[in-house]
Structure 1
Amino acid sequence: MKKFINSVDTLLDESLRGFALAHADIVRLNPAPRFVCRTAPAQPGKVALISGGGSGHEPLHSGFVGHGMLDAACPGQIFTSPTPDQMLAAAQAVDQGGGILFIVKNYAGDVMNFEMAAEMLDIPNAGILVDDDVSIPEHSSSGRRGVAGTTIVEKIVGAAAESGMTLEECRMLGERVVKATASMGVALKSCTVPALGRPSFELADDELELGVGIHGEKGRERIALTTAGNIVERLASTIDDALKPAQGQRALLHINGLGATPLLELYLIYDLARLFWDQRGVSVTRSLVGNFTTSLDMSGCSITLTLLDDEMTRLWDAPVHTAALRWNC
């Protein structure tokens, strides 16, 4: 294993210190219990958005703390859920009187710990569960995982909170965005978790894994390496079957890198996915390409499609100023 690292035990704290120093105009780090929050507090009465999860998915979630998105993020150890005390401390630090909205990816540890924090919190709060991974059967026992669609939810709901929407209005909007969003990923090479020191699964040079998760999980199917066109056809067809967009439907197309895939290849995937939906009469009016929900050094990507309406489009376009996303600010 070759990585820029001093110690597995100190990696996260050192990385977070560097992140906070590099973006001190936007965020500050609370080291214990560990959370990242805005440097400048939001306006009084605003709903405060908090998300989090295991580290290793950067820039998700800490990179989305700032104006127009999250008020705080709670990073756990690599691929490990943050603890309830992190979430409680973050909520108390960013509460502006409008209540707390937790945005949670559908993983057992994240769900359990955010629910525990919500029960202990003496501030009005609600939650949004993101479960956009359509590689998982809809009625599986644990439900579908939350993956790259989380970025879309955090941006749209973050803009809504910034505009003055109430806690319940933000929650309902978030649920609408989740229902309108579907994602699926593919890996050419697994990631290497520093504490493990080896890839979480092995792929031969002529194999790829369809339907991978963002924690180094194997996919739903291993197939022979094929062309980018065939890969996009498999991913996009599954997403299209799940969302069933009508002709003329407006959409946001997000091509997300999983950590080790160059932009040269991600834009190729975008071109092919855009052609797929253009041929079906779907109007892609908004786009996002790059590494936003990663899996350490995994070689691969995911495709996310979100079906847009006027309100969601307006909120997507609203000003945002974070370490990882910024426009119109």
Structure 2
Amino acid sequence: MKIGLSGSYFVRFKAHLVTKGYSQKKGIDYDEIFSPVVRHTSIRVLLSLLAHHNLELEQLDVKTAFLHGDLEEEIYMSQPEGFVVQGKEDYVCKLHKSLYGLKQSPRQWYKRFDTFMVKHGFSRSAYDCCVYHKKAPSGSLIYLLLYVDNMHVAAKDMDEVKKLKILLNTEFDMKDLGAARKILGMEIIRDQKHGKLFLSHNSYIEKIISRFGMSSEKSVNTPSSVNFRLSTTCTPQTEAEIEYMSRIPYASAAGSLMYAMVCTRPDIAHAMSVVSRYMAHPGKEHWNAVKRIFRYLKGT
């Protein structure tokens, strides 16, 4: 990253020490590795409350979040290349904290954060374990949503948000991103005067349209045609068709569209439910149906 300083420039490099987690053995080096993230449903509910009650929404990021986790297993690591202690080349490092690359790092980070929040009077939602809430002295609620190392804090009183930021900074190395403008790739557009909030996935949709070569395609007004009928008879039958479809990123394209559907575009849900049935053996007609969804998004 280049940073200007009195007309001159210098380059700053960053590096992460990453362990070879692929060499870990279950039952020895780790047990449970699942780590929850906030649900999209919870995000939509919070944004609804935000617009209805005119709440403040701030965004925070935890620097090197996975380094905060406490390890429960006894794990040893070879000395990093370039940092081997002279005369002790056969020594290994005993890990007390989690590192990037360890299979359990995300889970240990979540457990550490969860313990901290509960300790300071926050309640974990019974329906989403990545949603925390606490009643402020004024009687209003303050909410925190956690997505790995990304947090969104909402409250009626901005002073309560600032207090929570200070509290989090006492335990973790935080980066204050200010008023939330994006959440999981969705752009947040607010009209606080009229109590309205809009979500846009414009940049994401433009990105996937370009990625899958649909930029020059003609747009359409509907995600599927009137005679939209797909079946297994459309799967590749000849060697030429099989060869052609082997070069088509069908699953990747459908997955990218699925994310847009879940976040902001429920209007493509039916079309996506149909094309998703043929992930295993898609044919040209299936691919044309996926391309039509792209063309629809391009026009809307």
If the TM-score is normalised by the length of the shorter chain, which range does it land in?
under 0.3
TM-score norm. by structure 1 comes to 0.20
Instruction: Find the structure with the greater CA-based Rg.
Output: 2
Q: TM-score normalised to the size of structure 2?
A: 0.21
